[in-house]
Structure 1
Amino acid sequence: MNALLGQAWRCPRSAVLVTRRFRVKSSKPPKKPAPRSSKTASDTSVRSFNDLPADEQLRRRLNDRERAQRRTTPSEPALRQRYDEFYDLTKHRLNHLLWELGQWDPEHREYRAFGLHTQESYYQEISFFKEALKRSFHLASALGMTSRTDNPLFWNLRSAFIKGDAAGLTKELRYALQTFLMRKQFSKSTTELHLRLADLRFPYEWFPATRQLQRTIHLHVGPTNSGKTYNALKALENAKSGIYAGPLRLLAHEIYTRFTAKGKSCALITGEEQRIPEDADMFFRSCTVEMTPLNWKVDVAVIDEIQMIADEHRGWAWTQAVLGCQAKELHLCGEERVVDLIQELCARLGDKCIVHRYQRLNPLLPMEQAVGTDFKNLQKGDAVISFSRVNLHSLKAGIEEATGRKCAIVYGSLPPETRAAQAALFNDPNNEYDFLVASDAIGMGLNLEIKRVVFESAFKFDGMAHRPLTIPEVKQIGGRAGRYRTATDAVRSGKEEETSATSAFSKWGAPGFVTAMDDQDLGVIRKHLQNDAKPIAAAGILPPSHIIERFASLFSPDIPLAFVLSRLREMARLSSSFNMCSFGEHLDISDVLKEFDLSIYDRSVLLTAPVSLREKGQKDILRAFAWSIANLSGGHLLEIPEVDLEALDVDASQLDPQGQKNYLLRLEGLHKAVTLYLWLSYRYRGVFVSQKLAFHVKSLVEEKITNCLEAADYEADKQQRRREMLRRQAQSHSKKEEKLLGAEAEEAPVAESGPGLWDAEGHEEPLYREKREVNAALPVRARRTTESLDSRVSRG
């Protein structure tokens, strides 16, 4: 991190040299600095602004800002008020963070790890940090310095708040405080070593065996229902060996089923399940993208939904597959907006790139009118899209009650087998399942015979906040209407030539249609369908485990791994083609694991575990499994009380509707726990020894989940009010930054934007003169404690 404080502390020359290429230069050449006694006038005259000492650069930049402020007066009263409100919120979250950390104690492990060995040092360092925080907000409010380069502490706090609200702000404050406390331990040589280990500009060098191959990369791009994945899979089928890697377990299941139906030996490899053919030495592999085998040479590999290479959370898996897959032919399927990035990567890798562009096989049209709240307006083959798991069940009940026909249901947290069964019911034209309610999971390549996509809302909750749907999301989900050919048809056709249209196309012979339930949402949907998304500029990466291990070895064992990861994130230097993926879930997991005696390797493995800590009870599950790994025992499924096996004994038919909903959540929590157990059983076979039992429990849970899908009710007025509230919350969130923080956050370049130092020149100057100034900066509780200690010392 660039000293976190930016101009509140003077940055050393080493950090300035790392970041200077991204600084905005003045249109006028800088004045030549006065010659110093140790330099001749001729030496000084040729020095550029970037070659000046860091403190001189800082002084000049501040003077320029002050002059610009006097000319243009950017700090309007309204803007100052917004920054003051944000400052008040930040101080409140800091006090809450200090309360969570607890009072100073000689046995406090975290305080000791960060060098706070006395209570006086604790109060002094907290006051220093609060003063630094105050200065960073003064730079933003008084001088308008809000960029990542000029005021990184403010920039990071603002970005964290925008992305994660108060919780995200608290996390960033915690890391900022920890980095501040560690500033004296980071000497210049230590920081230079950190920078060398965190140099991630050349991730393709992590795969030396792949770099020895001359690969041909076929990039298949086009809208949904254009045949791009179909053509890529044909190349895979005609090869002797190959890999399919997709974003969902259900997609991996579909390709596995397709290949086995055609008599081809195929393995299914996901994080939680592995089906390896026993009667074949050579076989295809269908896997989720995180499980792509990188040490296996094949003729053809297909990587689906390549645009997810820029995903904030999972993009690293696509990047890893593209850079490391040892395939003679690598077929990438995705959207047009990824072309420039892939071509740039191929140029760096020395691989040949061939772009295949496709047009949609049948048109996709937005409708003029919304469906409305009367489900009788729905037509056979409609898919209603919603983004709330509970709301999906309510919609299902309402549609079945209004139409008298059956409605299938598909959403992300359903087990893949259950989702596949529901999709098969909807795709089968010879039954009474005329409708489908689904989440955005169908946008990830899930093949369904949909005539019309109906958006229940144009807004969604993404785990952090309510927001409008993006252009790619609308096009991906809406494009599922009027599918030309599905994997189900491929399975049915067996070895037959696949030139016929899908049954969906044959039935309707018309374009796919997209609409919404409300006119307000339909306007948003129509606008997104008519516009193009911005090109993808960078691929996501995460540091591999061997870099995390080496980087963590430079810190004391008592230092929390969350701080090590945050330090690595901020120290990382990236090229313009790569972005760092989010560390959010990793940091949460590392906080849960800090109480256990685990090696860095074990912690690195668990960082990528399929666990959602936001779900009720999942933290306790993770702690139980971590305890088993740390003690190399207690891994039998029946020995882990946190796994709620008692849920299998409940008779759902005896529960009221609300009780059945709660029971469904309980079953899904149990399914997540068993899924995590299976994931660990492939990595710690000697600890988690109940794999067969876990598979049996998993099947029982999935059966009960299927039985619970029918229990739901629907109230039209309640759902209408919910949609209106969702719109208001999403619109409020989109205006949050403008309302509270003023101008739009600067998207500063992150390439090679390395950090600065807390112990920069000038830090030795005290931030206070008298002890009462320190006490004035402390929370009331801490102030009383200090005064009490002082009085006892004076009496003693």
Structure 2
Amino acid sequence: MLCIRRLSGIHHARTLAPCTLPKRVASVPPVLARTRTGKASKGRERSTRARSFNPKPPAPRQHVVEQEHTSKLRLSPGNVIDYLEQNVSDWFTKHGQQAAERLHRFGVPKDALKPLLKVYRTRMEAGDVFRDLEYGEDNLARMARDLSSGNRSAADRYYTKILFEWASLPQGQQALEGTVPAEVVSRMQALFHAADLSKVSWQYVITRCSPPRKFIMHVGPTNSGKTHNALRALAAAERGIYAGPLRLLAHEIYDRLNKGQIVPLGAEPPVEAEPDSQTNFDIGEDAAPGKKQVVVTKTGNPQFVRPCNMVTGEEQKIVSKDATLLSCTVEMTPLSTYWDVAVIDEIQLIADRQRGGAWTAAVLGLNAGEIHLCGEESAIPLIESIVRELGDTLEVQRYNRLTPLVVADKSLGGDLSKIQEGDCVVAFSRSGLFGLKHSIEKATKMRCALAYGRLPPEIRSEQAALFNDPQSDYRVIVGSDAIGMGLNLKIKRVIFEAVHKWDGGSMRVLSTSQIKQIAGRAGRFGLHDSDAAGVVTTLHEPDLEIVRKALPAPFEPLQYARLHMSVETVTPIVRALPWDAKGATIGDVFLYVSKMAHMFEFQDVYEINDAMKTIDSFADCLTIPSRLIVQNSPCPWRDNYAVDGARAILEIYREKLQVRVEEALHRGRLLHKLNRALLLMQADGPAPDSMTTVQVLNTLETVHKVLDLYLWFSYRYAVAFPDRKNAFDIRQLTELAMDWCLEVLHQTRVGSRDAAAEARKAVMHRRPQQKEDEVSGVSEETIVGKLNSNAYTENYYDPNGPWHLSVVR
């Protein structure tokens, strides 16, 4: 337990204990850290040294980019059957052993594997299997598309899927009779029916039994004002819900509705009302200066105040138990509750490999009379198919970009000195971002804000605010594709440092959608003195042509809406599998057995294999719903230190059934690292060097993730995770230390005499106090009172104010 000075009354809200670890914490045995290979790590910090950025282009860009195969398979719905029938022997030869092992994990005895596969191959070659299945045009078109995609596992998946479906038919059962034991066929049929997702929409019985819903799609490019009509309908609804992709967006809607800043549909704002350009949503034409109609006002109006609660995975703000409006992240959408109006933001994420299942569940299951979907035009055909299948109605409203977006004639030619005030430089490597930031500041003498995915949303928002503030010395922002969503940025020009991104297996060229989303942040309407065109360019000349071709290209229509694991889908499968089946086996059932409608695809199971491996080791203390909660938690499962923290939480839960946040951090080998960072921040000595500072920042990012994980559990198991307030306090400390690290990097670069102290002073000056509206249980009358008394204005800490002693145990 380490003593540190208390930097402010709000950041250190509680008096902490003496400077020794309590016995209950000190006696906890250390956790053996495991790497992805299963070998014990040596406990060393990972090297995150901020190398100097080299602006010279590669020669010639030596990326390992996955290229299109010249002999890529091309199938049409008419020849899919012939292809599979003719190649079943080849599949049996190359993948028969893997298929047999998979079937055994699914519950087929070893002695039945060979005769089962032999009969299946013979019947497939004879044409009996597809004649019995009688697949329709939609199914064959889907199969043709998947088999032609270049995915090497597609054929293996379809051969296994077809086997289970055929075995469930009377014809298939009759063909297997006498060769395969009847109980084996019955087990295969049980698993097939348990995993059948062809009627997945009927999991939402309440919605299916309600009157048809009206969907309204608001689609357009970035900076087209596509969201505001939906928000106005929400503000006017008696009962309404906003479901978005980010905690920050959910908080903004919550905040603006409670302040009365969103003008309801049908209401007229006062003539003197000014539009608020400081929003993370597109500003429509009726929000432009000089227009009579204003959508989001700069100051709230008491007559527009609507009590609204906020629910995200890691945070809840309840202003009134009787509030009829809710703002939430899409994963937290209550599907059984009735709403008059629902708004689902960034609908194109319905196809996202990891999170898309939450959008699919909302579209299928939201029990609302009117549902507004906001996002890209690429989602229209997919949504049309789903809505048609559900028997609902769909209206599409298209929006055009409000300011032009142009591609520069030339790239920067690798010359960072050509970067100008208002530029956003986009890169896709976290370690490279720090070097790029340093090199830009050195070349231009302009200070850079920083925004990337691992930074907490709160820190990203603060960095964006500094970039937008004309009074600050931040003139450029360096970021990853995280700048493409949920940040209000006054960007004049977007510069791609690269147009390739690592996808976990290889370097790939950014998709057209990704390029459009990022480039569209340039020249946002209403954010500049004049609505001049936004400009897009690249750092290196070879990349410019890729961007030039992507911007005018039409959006590629989304092929699939993703489905994810839920209690309703997983429970029957667990019952149909052998009792000792692992999590990975459950995932394989969805990939190799489940039957789905042609517009659906399952989430990327390979992405959650790391989570499943950890969860399997705690199967003795976790129910099926609890396993899914852990699996869907905000834990970065490929971060070994974060996984250590997750394991520590689960181990303490198994041992004591109650988890204290300090003990979890200590057992996860993170508490001493947090304390080290806090001590560095308050020390009077010289600041750490840049390499050490980046390493500390990396550790703090992991600490923040583990604290988010603890808060995630605290809202689901309040008795077992009772330290919610303590976790929030430590998370605020962590964010403060992260902000300080970013500031130290700058103060060190400019050669400040006392970089640590200067960074501390700057951070304390700009960080706002906790707002009063963040306290739960605020009534509607209190909200209106606060609005009238201007209590929502932010206060700032005095950097020269008193310091107090406190400690993090």
In 1, Cα distance between the equivalents of 2:689 and 2:625?
A: 47
Per-residue deviation, 1:385: 0.9
Q: Does 1:357 pair with 2:411?
A: no
**Contact 2:584 / 2:612 at 8 angstroms: preserved in 1?**
yes
CA deviation map 1:658-691 (0-9, x unaligned): 1211111111111111111111111121211111
Cα distance in structure 1, aligned partners of 2:356 and 2:420: 37
Return the match for 2:311 from 259, 269, 279. Answer: 269
> What does residue 644 of structure 1 align with?
670
- Distance change in 2, residues 1:452/1:418 (3 Å): same
Aligned mates of 2:325, 2:656 — CA distance in 1: 35
Aligned equivalents of 1:707 and 1:373: distance in 2?
31
Question: Counterpart in 2 of 1:222?
Answer: 220
Cα distance in 1 for partners of 2:579, 2:234 equals: 48
Counterparts in 2 of 1:702 and 1:185: CA distance versus 1, 3 Å? farther
Q: Which residue among 675, 680, 684 is the counterpart of 2:713?
A: 680
Counterpart residue number, 2:473: 432
Pick closer, same or farther for the CA change 1:111–1:526 going to 2, 3 Å: closer
Aligned equivalents of 2:436 and 2:636: distance in 1? 25
Q: Distance in 2 between matches of 1:595 and 1:228?
A: 46
Question: What residue in structure 2 maps to residue 475 of structure 1?
Answer: 516
* Aligned twin of 1:667: 700
With over 3 angstroms needed to count, the CA separation of the structure-2 counterparts of 1:409 and 1:579, relative to structure 1, is same
Deviations, residues 28-80 of structure 1 (Å, cap 9, x unaligned): xxxxxxxxxxxxxxxxxxxxxxxxxxxxx96xx479x99xxxxxxxxxxxxxx
Secondary structure of the residue aligned to 1:530 is coil
Q: Give the letter for the 1:228 counterpart.
A: K
2:497 to 426, 450, 456: 456
Q: 1:357, CA displacement in angstroms?
A: 0.8
Q: TM-score, normalised by structure 2?
A: 0.65
- SS of the residue corresponding to residue 323 of structure 2 reads coil
Q: Does 1:210 align with 2:180?
A: no
How many angstroms apart in 1 are the aligned matches of 2:465 and 2:574? 48
Kindly indicate whether the alpha-carbon contact (under 8 Å) linking 2:449 and 2:467 is maintained by their aligned counterparts in 1: yes
* Separation (CA, whole Å) in 2 of partners of 1:112 and 1:314: 26
CA distance in 2, matches of 1:23, 1:664: 55
| 1:538-687 correspondence to structure 2 within 5 Å | 538-596=560-618, 597=620, 598-631=622-655, 633-640=657-664, 641-642=667-668, 644-650=670-676, 651-652=679-680, 654-687=687-720
CA deviation string 1:365-422 (max 9, x = no partner) = 1111112333331222111111112222222222223333322111221112111111
Encode CA deviations 1:632-652: one digit per residue, 9 max, x unaligned: 524111222115111222244
Shift in Å at residue 519 of structure 1? 0.5
How far, CA to CA, are the matches of 1:354 and 1:205 in structure 2? Answer: 23
Q: Give the C-alpha shift of residue 162 in structure 1.
A: 8.6
Residue 352 of structure 2 corresponds to which residue in structure 1? 311
> How much does 1:184 deviate?
8.3
Counterpart CA distance in 2 for 1:323 and 1:402 is: 52
Secondary structure of the 2:625 match is: helix
State whether residues 239 and 324 of structure 2, in contact with CA within 8 Å, keep that contact through their aligned partners in structure 1: yes
2:409 is the alignment partner of 1:368: yes
Q: 1:648/1:607 Cα in 2 relative to 1: closer, same or farther (>3 Å)?
A: closer
1:442-483: CA deviation from partner (whole Å, max 9, x where unpaired):
222433221111111101112333211000000011011111
Rounded Cα–Cα distance in structure 1 between residues aligned with 2:650 and 2:181: 33
1:355 shift after superposition: 0.8
| Residue 459 (structure 2) pairs with residue 418 (structure 1) | yes
Change (3 A) 1:696 1:202: same
Output the amino acid matched with 2:337. W
- SS of 1:661's equivalent in the other structure is helix
Residue pair 1:373, 1:517 contacting (<8 A) in 2 also = yes
Rounded Cα–Cα distance in structure 1 between residues aligned with 2:400 and 2:214: 23
Inter-partner Cα distance in structure 2 for 1:706 and 1:192: 57
Does the Cα contact within 8 Å between 2:590 and 2:602 map onto a contact in 1?
no
Contact 2:447–2:474 (8 Å) recurs in 1? yes
- Partners of 1:22 and 1:610 lie apart in 2 by 44
Separation in 2, partners of 1:466, 1:390: 16
Q: Could you tell me which residue of structure 2 aligns to residue 246 of structure 1? A: 244
Equivalent position of 1:533 in the other structure: 555
Asked if residue 192 in structure 1 is aligned to residue 189 in structure 2, the reply is: yes
Kindly indicate whether residue 332 of structure 2 is the aligned counterpart of residue 291 of structure 1. Answer: yes
Q: Which letter maps to 1:659?
A: T
SS at match of 2:227: helix
Does residue 334 of structure 2 align to residue 325 of structure 1? no
CA contact (8 A) 1:221 1:356 kept: yes
For structure 1, the 5+ residue unaligned runs are 1-19, 28-56, 67-82, 99-109, 140-147, 164-168, 176-182, 485-501, 715-796
Output the CA distance in 2 between the equivalents of 1:231 and 1:195.
Answer: 44
Q: What's the counterpart of residue 80 of structure 2?
A: 24
CA contact (8 A) 1:393 1:712 kept: no
CA-CA distance at 1:437 after TM superposition: 1.1
Question: Contact 1:213–1:326 at 8 Å: present in 2 too?
Answer: no
- State the Cα distance separating 1:698 from its structure 2 match: 0.6
Q: Structure 1 CA distance, aligned partners of 2:324 and 2:87?
A: 65
Structure 2 distance, partners of 1:595, 1:374, is 52
Q: What is the CA–CA distance in structure 2 between the aligned matches of 1:665 and 1:328, rounded to whole Å?
A: 46
Contact in 2 for aligned 1:113/1:558 (Cα 8 Å): no
Change in CA separation of 1:282 and 1:204 when aligned onto 2, cut-off 3 Å: same
| Preserved contact between residue 305 and residue 445 of structure 1 (Cα < 8 Å) | no
Distance in structure 2 (CA, Å) of the matches to 1:384 and 1:611? 28
Identity among equivalent positions (%) equals 38
Residue 690 (1) aligns with residue 723 (2): yes
Greater Cα offset, 582-591 or 628-637? 628-637
Give the C-alpha shift of residue 512 in structure 1.
0.9
Distance in 2, Cα, partners of 1:512 & 1:250 = 25
2:203–2:568 CA contact under 8 A, matched in 1: no
2:150, 2:709 → 1: CA distance?
A: 32
Cα 1:508/1:614, change in 2 over 3 Å: same
| Matched residue SS, 1:293 | coil
Amino acid at match of 1:532: P
Which residue does the alignment assign to 2:385?
344
Equivalent AA in structure 1 for residue 600 of structure 2: F
1:593 deviates by 1.9
CA distance in 2, matches of 1:454, 1:622: 38
Change in 2 beyond 3 A, CA 1:423/1:343 = same
Q: SS at the partner of 2:334?
A: coil
Counterpart residue type for residue 198 of structure 2 = R
- 2:461–2:487 contact (8 Å) kept in structure 1: no
Alpha-carbon distance between aligned partners in 1 of 2:490 and 2:689, rounded to the nearest angstrom: 34
**In 1, Cα distance between equivalents of 2:671 and 2:441:** 32
Superposed, 1:226-237 pairs within 5 Å as 226-237=224-235
Aligned pair partner of 2:733 in 669, 685, 700: 700
RMSD of aligned C-alpha atoms?
Answer: 4.2
Deviates more, 1:548-557 or 1:361-370: 548-557
Q: How do 1:21-100 and structure 2 match up within 5 A? A: 24=80, 61=86
Which stretch of the first structure deviates more once superposed, 400-409 or 226-235?
400-409
Secondary structure of 2:694 counterpart: helix
Q: TM-score, normalised by structure 1?
A: 0.66
Q: Do 1:394 and 1:712's aligned partners in 2 also have CA atoms closer than 8 Å?
A: no
User: Residues 352, 677 of structure 1: CA spacing in aligned structure 2 closer, same or farther, 3 A cutoff?
Assistant: same
Tell me, yes or no, if the aligned pair for 1:616 and 1:669 is still in contact at 8 Å. Answer: no
Query: Is contact 2:195–2:589 with CA below 8 Å preserved after alignment?
Result: no
- Of 435-444 and 361-370, the range deviating more from structure 2: 435-444
Larger % of helix: which?
1
